Structure formats: C-alpha cells, structure tokens
C-alpha cells in the first residue's frame, strides 16, 4: 500500500485494499497505524476518507527501505504483472521525482556534465542552477529550499543506485512532464519517454540509447 502511495495521489482504503489483495478491514487497520505514526495524512470528503503520504520525506524513507530489502521484493508473476514491473523498473515517479533506470541515467548525466556534484553528498552546482532555469525554464524562486533540501540522493530500489531527489529532482520531473518529454502509463507510477523526450535528453545531456 505504501509503494502504491508513492505515485503522489490520494487513495481510499478500498482502493488500497484491492491493490494489496487484502480485506478492507485489514487495510483500514494498517492505514490507521500509519496515520497515527505520522507517515500518512488523511482527508475526508463526504463519506469517503482519502490517504496520501504525509510529505516528500516519507517517500524518500520508503524508497530507502525498499532498496535495502533482502533478498528484495518477490518477482512479478503473470504476463500483466511482469509487463507492469518492467515498466516501473524502466522509468517511474518516486512521489514527485524521476526514478528507475531513466532516473538514474539522468542523474548520472547531470553529474557527468558538472551540473550535479555527488562527491560529498548531493549538491546542485552553480552551472546546474543555470541549467535548471535556462534549459528547463524553472523559475528561480521555485528552487529556493525551505525545509526540503534542494538536492538529495535517493537510493533507487530497483537500480540500487541513487537518483536525484529533493526540490531539484521534483522540478526536473515536473518540467519533463509539462513539456511532454514523459507521459504516464495508465494511472500508476510508471512513465514512458516520448520521442521528443529522447531528442531533448540527447541534446541537453547527451543521453542516448534510452528505451
């Protein structure tokens, strides 16, 4: 249920129960504990109760925990599940930033271009700030961190390597979606790189061979 909530949307208990394959009463009990622990937030609208991750830090925590699971999540079974799993591994959103092979590839390309410094933690360089505002058109005021760090290395649970999180990661993902370089697959977390996205990433970051 927590991994489903990484798509950033609000879900009902019934939807999460169906997604997890458990009884609604079981889902409700777990959700009550997660809300009580401050990991989830709830909103009531009429008779319905919607839950979502409390904040981006919870999304980062979930990705970190999942990446450290041993021996990892069980393999998908059945053609539909295998196809969905492959799409998630290829490219997905991690709450509000880009993850999967594509997210890691973009992070590596930013680092190689000197836009991101991962030598001592994770930091956007001055050239990186200029790239975000000039190449992606992000307004400077939208990169001013408050409680959320500007850049954070988020350990990718499928690649076991970091992808860019934090405020900068969110703005990159937002720009890619707004410019239709990425398109969502169905209603879940998986995304697909569009032909214009391939061209843009090749021109901006020298990324090629992306599927």
Convert the pLDDT of each residue in 108-157 to its tens digit: 999 999 999 999 889 999 999 999 999 999 999 999 866 788 998 888 88
Confidence check: pLDDT of 71 > 70 = no
Higher pLDDT, 7 or 32: 32
Q: How many CB atoms lie within 10 A of CB 6?
A: 22
Domains, the chain, in order of start with CATH, read 2-54 (1.10.10.10), 61-205 (no CATH)
Confidence check: pLDDT of 51 > 90 = yes
* pLDDT, tens digit (0-9, with 9 covering 90-100), for 82-113: 567 788 889 999 888 999 999 999 999 999 99
Residue 2 token pair: 């927590």
42 Rama sector, left if φ>0, alpha if ψ -120 to 50, beta otherwise? beta
28-33: Cβ within 8 A, 24+ apart: 30/1, 31/1
Confidence check: pLDDT of 79 > 80 = no
What dihedral do alpha carbons 131, 209, 107, 70 form, nearest 10°?
170
Confidence check: pLDDT of 81 > 80 = no
Higher pLDDT, 164 or 7: 164
């Amino acid at each position: 249920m927590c991994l489903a909530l990484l798509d950033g949307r609000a879900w009902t208990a019934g939807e999460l129960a169906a997604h997890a394959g458990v009884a609604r009463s079981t889902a409700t009990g777990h959700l009550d504990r997660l809300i009580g622990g401050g990991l989830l937030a709830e909103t009531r609208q009429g008779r319905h109760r919607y839950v979502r991750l409390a904040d981006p830090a919870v999304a980062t925590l979930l990705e970190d925990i999942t990446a450290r699971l041993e021996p990892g999540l069980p393999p998908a079974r059945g053609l539909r599940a295998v196809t969905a799993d492959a799409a998630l591994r290829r490219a997905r959103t991690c709450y509000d930033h880009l993850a999967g092979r594509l997210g890691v590839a973009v992070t590596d390309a930013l680092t190689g271009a000197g836009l991101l410094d991962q030598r001592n933690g994770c930091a956007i360089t001055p050239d990186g700030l200029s790239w975000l505002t000039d190449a992606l058109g992000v307004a400077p005021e939208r990169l001013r961190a408050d409680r959320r760090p500007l850049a954070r290395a988020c350990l990718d649970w499928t690649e076991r390597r970091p992808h860019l999180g934090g405020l900068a990661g969110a703005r990159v993902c937002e720009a890619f979606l707004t410019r239709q370089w990425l398109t969502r697959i169905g209603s879940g977390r998986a995304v697909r790189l569009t032909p214009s996205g391939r061209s843009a990433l090749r021109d901006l970051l020298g990324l090629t061979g992306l599927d």
